[in-house]
Amino acid sequence: MCLGIPGRVVEIHDDAGLRMATVDFGGIRRAVCLSCTPEAGVGSYVIVHVGFAITQVDEAEAHRTLEVLRAMAGAVEGELGEPLP
């Protein structure tokens, strides 16, 4: 199963000309490519799929989605490599 998981952009940096971010998924942080979401900035919430931020969402929607995903713990662990805190 492939999931798009919401997370908050906490830092943006350049990696060899590629716009990258550190994204926080409720306590788990991962490097994410922002090439598909050039409007995303620090504090933005994005949906991440296989290491790419594919769209922005508002904070309330991100929190609602994370709660649903926490209820599906095995699926999230398969995507992130560890369960959401």
Question: H/E/C letters for each residue in the chain?
Answer: CCCCEEEEEEEEEEECCEEEEEEEECCEEEEEECCCCCCCCCCCEEEEECCEEEEEECHHHHHHHHHHHHHCHHHHHHHHCCCCC
Is a pLDDT exceeding 80 seen at residue 71?
A: no
Is a pLDDT exceeding 70 seen at residue 1?
A: no
Residue-wise pLDDT tens digits, 3-28:
789 999 999 999 999 999 999 988 88
Instruction: Give the mean pLDDT of 61-68.
Output: 88
**pLDDT tier, 78 (very low <50, low <70, confident <90, very high otherwise):** low
Q: Which residue has the higher pLDDT, 45 or 26?
A: 45
**Which range is least confidently modeled, 13-22, 37-46, 59-68?**
59-68
